[in-house]
Every structure is written in structure tokens, then in C-alpha cells.
Amino acid sequence: AAGIRNYITSILVTNSHATVGTLVEIRDGATTVLWRGYAAPAGGGFAITFPVPLRGTAATAVNAYNITTGSNTYVNVAGFQAP
């Protein structure tokens, strides 16, 4: 909705591929990177909690993007929406 932003309070990323790791970007829309981290193969990944939430642009989706193809990555983003 117009004027409503996404605020990210935590991110959890895991990669279940046996041999392929990937850099994962959390994006505000299609191109603006809010955070990035590496998800190593065979159960690697990362978890982070932000004491000050990451703030997105109003009326813009949050997207997860894998830099490397072929990984088997799961991304969970938690937060809230507010003006």
C-alpha cells in the first residue's frame, strides 16, 4: 500500500545443496541490496537479528536473490509493516 514500508527485524538463510554455496542478497525491490551473506553448501547459511530494523522503500517488495545458480537455498525474513 502507498506509504507503507517493510521493516526487517531478522533473516534466516540455509542451503541444503551438497556442494554449491551462494551469496544471498536481501533486496528492497529488484536492485537495492539491504543485506548480503554467504550460504555455504551442506547446511550452511546465516541468521541475523537487527536491533534497528532494516527499512525498505514504501510500497516496495522485499526479495531474496542468489548470486550463484544451482544452490538449494531457503530464505526466511521476519519483520513488520508500518508507515
Q: What is the pLDDT along the chain (83 residues), one digit of tens a residue?
A: 799 999 999 999 999 999 999 999 999 999 999 999 999 999 999 999 999 999 999 999 999 999 999 999 999 999 999 99
Q: How far apart are CA 36 and CA 65, in angstroms?
A: 9
Q: How far apart are CA 7 and CA 26, in angstroms?
A: 12
What's the pLDDT score for residue 1? 78
Q: How far is CA 45 from CA 8, 13, 78, 83, in A?
A: 18, 5, 16, 31
pTM over 0.95: no
Q: Answer positive or negative: Cα dihedral of 78, 39, 26, 68.
A: negative
